[in-house]
Structure 1
């Protein structure tokens, strides 16, 4: 989710390449060294803790990164760093956190049935409904506070402390500093900063298998495959379609007027009856509400097996995800999870035997990091299978699939 997230890889190669090598010092606003401050590249397993003098050092492969620095009682700070051949020295001064807001929020928290219900809603939206979501546990649930505005149908979540998540399915301990979480009219936006750590010093076979299955068919997999031009080899089929308003469905204004007429009518109404030729205003209202069940849009497929130049462009050695209308991304080597087929409201979909996702660019072309991650993840809206896969199905951006 959303996010300002940037990609990097583990630093292990002995080959000569451009690299990111960051050394630095973290101090308070009174210039006192902060020992034990957390310093990491966002959404990766690459991080460190400052020593008694406030010093740290990080190394990573070529790429663009967000460096995150956090310490209890101080405001989290983020800095952008990019690949250069020489060591970068960064001195960071943290400001003390204003505890007034936290104190106000804490006083409002009541762990009653409403809070428990809100927690379940938050976990379903944030962690998701996949099999892996059931293996994700938020350790510090009581640090979470919820706010719901019925007038705007807006559900927001705040956290007193970063979320501590134990992911038994993928084998990670994740510290997630939630910056924003808003669910409004079934549209979700969340953003934050994640630090991944392996739960154990060795990777269990279960975790290795789950990580590979999670990577396969993911957006990360798609983008890396797109840049290397291996889509067909990697099991992807890409089609292109247009989405237009469904003219057979009445406008929202007509639907609202029909509902208001129903409210003013005292006699029983059979909404299911067939009315080929409406005569009365009530007949017309019934037909309108019957057609209101039609989809708001219709999709028109106009191109199969889209060529690479029609999906991305390169300007000054920078790659962009760049296409018109919508892309249908079909991953043919894995089937849908049963939880996806059941759906949020229990209505079962027909299995297709493949994983199909739909993407649209929200603000023109979107830059792709050389390692295959969108520089701005908010530039693309996901539907279908990628829309189903939430935080529990996210891998750290330095993940590399194992080779047989």
Structure 2
């Protein structure tokens, strides 16, 4: 399952980086000060609201950032920031939102059984099916509006206001400005802007433990371990594999033709029939339909314990994820969750005792930020365990395990 998450930016990895003061004013297009505007760095716990003069002030560490500014009735604005000095002053003007989408949403939203069904699908795919997902609650569910296309099997979600998510498992209240949510078949893409706040001033021992468990084995953990050359110490094993078409599976053209012929035969063909060698057209249809259930591709492992130089390259001291074919990332210090082992219709996978994820590069390479995340998260496609973990298992990008 593909997962995207507007990240362009982001943050901190080394305590040796000096502090930078970011301050400024948030104004309307008519230069009216906007009191109470939200100002935060995307996907972090760093944020504030403007005072009566529209002023704000934030301290950050050196790095690349996306500053998000939002205010009710105005369009959300994002600014890419790379501070070049110890202090940066900004004047940010917000454009009024004409509210066309909101009017459409308000008129069309009916909280019927279809809406409830779509909401359940949204929560299962967006929040995920992990133990942590069960501790998340969207406080303003009725701000969500859904559109479904049966022709393309695509579910699209919109939100009238930023989602408020109470994450009791990790101890956060998360404001998520949903930009896009598209579920097509089993492929998911979502993007937005997130601001994390602790539910309480004092973070409980349980929350600290849950955050550490969410971090361990995550993509963030892997990328930080890769750039620091500590994969083995941190519990990662990386193998390399090639993916080729399954020679035993018929072509898409043959499968399409068999399904069209099946319609002509109506209910007279028994698809459960076992046929060793087709003797007529109906036998061929049965064999083709049965083989259509086979995987489209086969994976061939050809290298174990991939060396660092085969996974990462540097351009002007900037790290990039770069490799041939595909990577299999195995995290050996935790086993799979029970929910991961349960597939559709109650079918259960065989437990392996480790967490295995596949990385497919969608672009030539993917730049890695100093915080241990990808500058463009959509440059890769996650399969396996990372595909199972969704929004509920994500941490703010300024998260550091205790002791780091």
Task: Give TM-score, length-normalised by structure 1.
Answer: 0.96
Do the aligned partners of 2:132 and 2:392 also contact (CA within 8 Å) in 1?
A: yes
Q: Is 1:343 aligned to residue 343 of structure 2?
A: yes
Do the aligned partners of 1:19 and 1:84 also contact (CA within 8 Å) in 2?
A: no
- Residues 281-319 of structure 1, C-alpha deviations (whole Å, 9 max, x = no match): 111111111211111000000000000000000011111
Q: Is 1:38 aligned to residue 38 of structure 2?
A: yes
Q: Is 1:297 aligned to residue 315 of structure 2?
A: no
- Aligned positions of 1:172-211 closer than 5 A: 172-211=172-211
Counterpart position of 1:238 = 238
- Aligned positions of 1:207-226 closer than 5 A: 207-226=207-226
Structure 1 residue 19: Cα displacement: 4.2
Counterpart position of 1:128 = 128
Distance 2:283 2:108 in 1: 50
Distance 1:399 1:100, change over 3 A: same
- Residues 163-184 of structure 1, C-alpha deviations (whole Å, 9 max, x = no match): 0000000000000000000111
Do the aligned partners of 1:5 and 1:43 also contact (CA within 8 Å) in 2?
A: no
- Residues 182-237 of structure 1, C-alpha deviations (whole Å, 9 max, x = no match): 11122111100000000000011110000000000000000000000000000000
Counterpart position of 1:374 = 374
Counterpart position of 1:27 = 27
Counterpart position of 2:61 = 61
Counterpart position of 1:4 = 7
Counterpart position of 1:364 = 364
Do the aligned partners of 1:20 and 1:82 also contact (CA within 8 Å) in 2?
A: no
Structure 1 residue 277: Cα displacement: 2.2
Do the aligned partners of 2:319 and 2:368 also contact (CA within 8 Å) in 1?
A: yes
Distance 1:19 1:230 in 2: 27
Distance 1:390 1:83 in 2: 31
- Aligned positions of 1:143-182 closer than 5 A: 143-182=143-182
- Residues 77-129 of structure 1, C-alpha deviations (whole Å, 9 max, x = no match): 00001142321111100011111321121110111111111100110010000
Structure 1 residue 274: Cα displacement: 2.8
Q: Tell me whether 96-105 or 118-127 shows the greater mean CA deviation.
A: 96-105
Secondary structure in structure 2 of the residue aligned to 1:119? helix
Q: Is 1:141 aligned to residue 141 of structure 2?
A: yes
Structure 1 residue 18: Cα displacement: 4.3
Structure 1 residue 267: Cα displacement: 6.2
Counterpart position of 2:51 = 51
Secondary structure in structure 2 of the residue aligned to 1:232? helix
- Aligned positions of 1:65-104 closer than 5 A: 65-104=65-104
Do the aligned partners of 1:147 and 1:156 also contact (CA within 8 Å) in 2?
A: yes
Distance 2:212 2:18 in 1: 28
Aligned pair count? 401
Secondary structure in structure 1 of the residue aligned to 2:192? strand
Secondary structure in structure 2 of the residue aligned to 1:115? helix
Q: Tell me whether 252-261 or 226-235 shows the greater mean CA deviation.
A: 252-261
Structure 1 residue 403: Cα displacement: 3.0
Distance 1:207 1:360, change over 3 A: same
Distance 1:399 1:344, change over 3 A: farther
Secondary structure in structure 2 of the residue aligned to 1:233? helix
5+ long unaligned stretches in structure 2: none
Q: Is 1:400 aligned to residue 400 of structure 2?
A: yes
Structure 1 residue 266: Cα displacement: 4.8
Secondary structure in structure 2 of the residue aligned to 1:353? coil
Distance 1:5 1:132 in 2: 25
Structure 1 residue 4: Cα displacement: 3.3
- Aligned positions of 1:311-322 closer than 5 A: 311-322=311-322
Do the aligned partners of 2:13 and 2:372 also contact (CA within 8 Å) in 1?
A: no
Aligned-residue Cα RMSD (Å) equals: 1.5
Task: Give TM-score, length-normalised by structure 2.
Answer: 0.96
Secondary structure in structure 2 of the residue aligned to 1:22? strand
Secondary structure in structure 1 of the residue aligned to 2:232? coil
Distance 1:317 1:10 in 2: 15
